[in-house]
Chains A and B, each alone.
Chain A
Amino acid sequence: MSREYPQDSVGLVQPQVLHFDQPLELVCGQTLNSYTLIIETYGTLNKDGSNAVLICHALSGNHHVAGYHSDDDKKPGWWDSAVGPGKAIDTNKFFVVCLNNLGGCHGSTGPASINPETDKPYGPDFPIVTVRDWVNSQVRLADHFGIQQWAAIVGGSLGGMQALQWSIDFPERLRHCLVIASAPKLSAQNIAFNEVARQAISRDIEFHDGHYYGENTVPRTGLMLARMLGHITYLSADGMGEKFGRELRSDNISFDFTPQFEVESYLRYQGKRFSTAFDANTYLLMTKALDYYDPAAEYDNSLSSAVAQTQCKFFVASFTTDWRFSPERSREIVDALVDAGKQVSYAEIDAHHGHDAFLIPIPRYMEVFSAYMKQVEADTPAIESHDTVGGTDNAC
C-alpha cells in the first residue's frame, strides 16, 4: 500500500527528460548542438498556457522542487515548503515547471554527460554556462509547453538572478518576477568565497584536472571542504550560535583533532553527504555562473538602465541576517527598479537563518510570498482551480 502524503503536498512525482536538438549558442562562444533538460512539473497547464510558473534553482538545487520520488523518500523536494496545494505557489492554481540547469549533475546535460564529439564525459571541457545561457535554455522549455508568457518566474539566490535576467532579456514573456535573497551581482567577498571553494576542489588529488570520471574516483575531500565553507556562509553567526553554541559531543575535551564540538561534526556530516551527491565539475561551473553574473555591465554599469525595458511586476525579498546575499544587495535591485519606474514590492524578513532562510517556511516570509502570489493569480487570465487532493494531479 502506498504511503499517505500530506494534503498540501504534491505527493509522488516523476521527473521528465526533454531533448533539444536545436543548437544553443552560449555566451562563452561555444555551442551545445543538442542537450537534455530534466524537469518536473506540478499542477495543470490551462488552455491558454497562462498559469505557468517557472522556478529557477540556486547553486546546488535541481528539478526536484516538491513532492517525493518514491514512498521511501525521507525528504521531499528542496522547496516543498513553498510549492504544493494551498501553499505560496499553489499547485491547484498554477502549473509549476522546474528544471535542472545546463551544467547540472541531476540529469540535465552537464560535465558528467557524454560529449558526442569524443564519446567521453565532457569533464572540464563542458563549456562555462552563464545565467543568460540558462535563461535561453529555459525559453526553449517554455516553447516546448506552448507557454508564451509565464505567470511568474521565481527564484532564490542564483535562481533570483535567472528570474531577473529573464525580465531583462525577454520582457514580454513574464508577468511577474520574484527575486528572493539575491543580488544584482556578486561582491568581491562573495567571489572570494567561491574561489576558495573552487581551489579546494581543483587541488584535491582526486580531481585529475576534472577528468576524474575515467579514473573511477571523485574529489570527495575538495567537494566536502567547498560545501563546508559554503555552509558557514549560508548561516548567520547568531543562527549557528543558537543551533550549536559550544556544545560538545561528549562530556570532556579530548585534546586532539577529532571533531568534538557539535558544529564540527555537523559541518563534516553536511560536507560528506554533499560530496557523494554532487558533481565537482558542476560545482565549479555553478560558482562561475554566479561570479560572472552582472546584468548591468552591458548597460554602463547602470542597473536602472538594465531593467529599463522590463515589463513585468517585481517582488523582491531579503532576510535580515543573510550576509552572503544581504538586504543591501536586494535593495540595490529595488532602487534600480524604482529609478526605472517599474512596479516593485519589497519585504525584508526578520530571520536568524542567514542565507538559508529563503528555503525555510518562516511565517512572515510565507505570508508576504503568498500575498504576492495572490496578485499573480489575479493577473492570470482564466485560472482554473483544481482542488485535487495532493499528489494525484502531477502532469509529468
Chain B
Amino acid sequence: MRADLEIIEEWVRPGSRVLDLGCGDGELLAHLMKQKQVSGYGLEIDHDNITLCLEKGVPVIEKNIDDGLVSIRNHSFDTVIMTQALQVMERPDQIIDEMLRIGKECIVTFPNFGHWRARGYLAFRGKMPVSKFLPYTWYNTPNIHFCTFKDFERLCVERNIYIQERTVVDHSHRDHWWIRLWPNMLGEIAIYRITR
C-alpha cells in the first residue's frame, strides 16, 4: 500500500465511520475496512475507479465533490479523508469547510508547490513546473489550485482550523529527518489531521 495511506491508517480509529473524498480505486477504504473494521463510502467521479471500487466491495458513490456535500448531515462521519485531490477542487477552502462540517475530524494530503524542485523549475527555467510526480502542463492540468504547506497552514489560521498533526514526506511517501528541518522546502506531500 502507498506509504501515505499507511500513515493515514494509523490516524483512523477502529470501527469508525469514514468518508473518502476522491477515493480512487478504493485501496485505502478496502484496507481500512479490513484492518480497522471501518464503515463508510468513497466518493469518486472517475468511471474506471468506480468499477474497481465495486469489484473490491468498497461502497462507492459517483459524485462530483465540487457540486457540494449538502445532503450529508453535520458531524455524521468520524473521519473525512481527502488524499491528493485538494488541488483539483474548484474551491479548496469551501470543500475543507464542508469536510469539517460533516466530519468530526479530517485528514488531508496534497502536493507541496513550495518544494525546492518546483521553486527551482520556475526560478531557473521560467516555466510552470512539470515533473514525473506532476506530469501536466499548465493548460491541461487538473491541478488548478496548487498551494504550499505555508499557504495551507495560513488558511487554517484564518479559518480557525486546528491542525492536530502533520507529517511531511517525499514523493515516495517516505519520512526523512531532513524533511523535518525545512518541510516547506524539502517536503513533497503533507498529511494533515485537522479539526475545528
Is A338 a contact partner of B39 (Cβ separation < 8 A)? no
Q: Mark B57-68, 1 if CB is under 8 A from A, else 0.
A: 101111100000
Query: Which residue of B is nearest A318, CB measured?
Result: B62
Is B57 a contact partner of A338 (Cβ separation < 8 A)? no
Residues in A with CB closer than 8 Å to B41 are 338, 344
Give Cα distance in the complex from A348 to B51, angstroms: 12
Query: Which residue of A is nearest B54, CB measured?
Result: A371
Size category of the binding interface on chain B: 10 to 19
Is A344 a contact partner of B57 (Cβ separation < 8 A)? no
The interface stretch among B70-78, B79-87, B111-119 is: B70-78
Is A343 a contact partner of B55 (Cβ separation < 8 A)? no
Is A346 a contact partner of B71 (Cβ separation < 8 A)? no
Q: Please judge, given known A-B contacts A335-B71, A343-B39, whether A367 and B62 are in contact too, CB under 8 Å.
A: no
Q: Is A383 an interface residue (CB 8 A)?
A: no
Q: Is B36 an interface residue (CB 8 A)?
A: no
Contacting B59 at CB < 8 Å: which of A335, A339, A344?
Answer: A344
Contacting B62 at CB < 8 Å: which of A348, A371, A374, A378?
Answer: A348
Residues in A with CB closer than 8 Å to B76 are 339
Q: Mark B115-156, 1 if CB is under 8 A from A, else 0.
A: 000000000000000000000000000000000000000000
Is A345 a contact partner of B53 (Cβ separation < 8 A)? yes
Is A334 a contact partner of B61 (Cβ separation < 8 A)? yes
CB distance from A257 to the nearest CB of B (A): 46
Give Cα distance in the complex from A378 to B58, angstroms: 13
Of B17, B53, B54, chain A has the most CB atoms within 10 Å of the CB of B54
Query: Which residue of B is nearest A367, CB measured?
Result: B51
Is A341 a contact partner of B39 (Cβ separation < 8 A)? yes
Is B61 a contact partner of A345 (Cβ separation < 8 A)? yes
Of A339, A344, A368, A372, chain B has the most CB atoms within 10 Å of the CB of A368
14 contacts between A and B (CB under 8 A): A331-B71, A338-B61, A338-B71, A338-B72, A343-B59, A345-B60, A346-B61, A347-B50, A367-B51, A371-B51, A371-B54, A374-B54, A375-B57, A378-B57
User: Which positions in B face A, CB cutoff 8 Å?
Assistant: 17, 39, 41, 47, 50-51, 53-55, 57, 59-63, 71-73, 76
